[in-house]
Chain A
Amino acid sequence: MSTNGHIEKKRLETPPAKFKLKIQRREKEGAPVTWDTFELPYRRNLNVISALMEVRKNPVTADGRATTPPVWDMSCLEQVCGICTMVIDGRVRQSCSALIDDLLIASGSDTVTLQPMSKFPNVRDLKVDRTKMFDHLKQVHAWVELDGSHSLGPGPAISNEVAQERYALSRCMTCGCCLEACPQYGDDNYIGPQAIAQARLFNMHPVGKTDMDERLNGLMGEDGITNCGNAQNCVQVCPMSVPLTKAIYETNRDITVNALFGWLKK
């Protein structure tokens, strides 16, 4: 069973001798965008990262011009850290789990196009700065308060249903796919599904629940949850199948009941 939206792994029946990697380049933040195309010999089981490593060994473009090796982020190489996220053939995903065979079959061409995510500051080439996502986690108070390091005894019991849902939310790896695909996110005008889902994760915690007002406040600002446009791309592109839309709508209900009509309880 496929647990995420990625296509099943297929192999090219008759692989080409060579294929091209078209990479969007930027020397530093604010510098103009340029494009370089590199030609690589095809080999079985290449993914985007191993192809980029090949380019790094000998950074000469297809038209014979020597250039700087392209810069990108990577760490775990098994789609759990999220740092190698980039826009591959126009679609955001992790480059470590993007197989060249799949990409060539899907596009029907001999070129794979790589771009950095467009919704984050572009540090250089394919590397972006994700600081904003961590700022958003602070904004929504995405943690459970503890009042000391002494033993608090066993934690409160959680129903299996809640535990399952919290586990799904906790899989978020802060990769940024949801924000990149969101047609509302950009220019700091919307906090985005990632932080809303983490607020939901801690609002569902029996102890974390006590700070719910603080989290809802973080979501009711100028860039808050009401800016969601319900295009629901986030849940389609999430590589960890985090139930992002459900988290948004559960939080909408919390806001309607506790915040919007909360004054009726007073």
Chain B
Amino acid sequence: MAVTYSRNFLLRKLHQLTGIVPLGLFFFAHMFTNAKAMNGEKVFEKAVQEIHDLPFLLFIEIFGIFLPLAFHSIYGIIISSEARPNVMSYNYGRNWFYLFQRITGVFLFFFIIFHLLHYRFGLVPGLTDIAVAGNAVGSFQIVANDLAIPWVLAIYILGVAATAWHLAYGFWLFAVDWGILIGTNAQRYALYGCAALAFGLFAVGTNAAFSFLRPCGLLPAALCEQPVKASSSAPKSV
């Protein structure tokens, strides 16, 4: 008997896949770029310029980020609307994670819209009207000016926390839903791994946000590239 796929089956599988392959990978790349702010303005602006120099950038943005993101978030909202949370009656860890995946998902839907309007397009009233995209030179200052506002910084830290957890637990869910993780023990150890990953991503993202406010973020400055003294770079003229 031939196997037939229902529309719902394929959409769910696609939802699970888009969360990992384009979006998960993109988030790692994003945090990696952000973390370069630790090493100062020049390093960060060079990183932004390198992104601008990528070939097929518009195609990557549309097919690698925007379309998967739109699908994943809109279909995710539909999935979340089917949930009947019952954590009060059935107070189990995995049941809370189930609810938390949906809460972070809905929060991220709004956070990502804000984030895109803010730094990608520069359209949030009261904040920067110059987008980071297309303005590699000066991008550090654009980001730093707005992150100096406490509520903006708080929103970004919450956003990083929610993304880190949603993605790390998403890896776990993917492994479970595709039949990779089966046994109870395997699932438990993998969950510890995912929790560690979530914490790591959160730490990197938060430190990157603070790097725009003080050199090396929250870490001791000795861990970061030391600013080169202007006098030593130019040969002394006699």
Point out residues on A near B: beta carbons under 8 Å: 90-91, 181, 183-186, 189, 211, 213-214, 216-217, 220-224, 226-233, 236-237, 245-246, 249-260, 262
How far is the CB of B181 from the nearest CB of chain A, in Å? 7
How far is the CB of A220 from the nearest CB of chain B, in Å? 5
Q: Is B179 an interface residue (CB 8 A)?
A: yes
* Residues of chain A with a CB closer than 8 A to B13's CB: 226, 260
> Per-residue CB proximity of B149-193 to A under 8 Å, as 1/0?
000000000000000000000000100111111111000000000
In the complex, A217 Cα to B89 Cα: how many Å?
33
* Residues of chain B with a CB closer than 8 A to A260's CB: 13
Task: Decide: A231 and B3 in contact? CB cutoff 8 A.
Answer: no
In the complex, A58 Cα to B4 Cα: how many Å?
57
Q: Is the interface of B mostly helix, strand, loop or mixed?
A: loop
Given A184-B84, A226-B12, A226-B13, A220:B178 Cβ within 8 A: no
In the complex, A192 Cα to B53 Cα: how many Å?
50
Q: How many residues of B contact A (CB 8 A)?
A: 35
Task: Decide: A226 and B8 in contact? CB cutoff 8 A.
Answer: yes
Task: Decide: B83 and A184 in contact? CB cutoff 8 A.
Answer: yes
In the complex, A90 Cα to B86 Cα: how many Å?
10
Residues from 72 to 123 in B contacting A, C-beta threshold 8 Å: 82-86, 88-90, 92, 94-95, 97-99
* Residues of chain B with a CB closer than 8 A to A184's CB: 82-84
In the complex, A232 Cα to B87 Cα: how many Å?
12
How far is the CB of B209 from the nearest CB of chain A, in Å? 31
Task: Decide: B83 and A228 in contact? CB cutoff 8 A.
Answer: no
Point out residues on B near A: beta carbons under 8 Å: 1-9, 12-13, 82-86, 88-90, 92, 94-95, 97-99, 173, 176-184
In the complex, A134 Cα to B28 Cα: how many Å?
46
In the complex, A222 Cα to B99 Cα: how many Å?
22
* Residues of chain B with a CB closer than 8 A to A214's CB: 1
Task: Decide: B98 and A254 in contact? CB cutoff 8 A.
Answer: no
Task: Decide: A233 and B4 in contact? CB cutoff 8 A.
Answer: no
Given A249-B181, A250-B179, A90:B88 Cβ within 8 A: yes
Q: Which A residue's beta carbon lies closest to that of B3?
A: A259
Task: Decide: B6 and A213 in contact? CB cutoff 8 A.
Answer: no
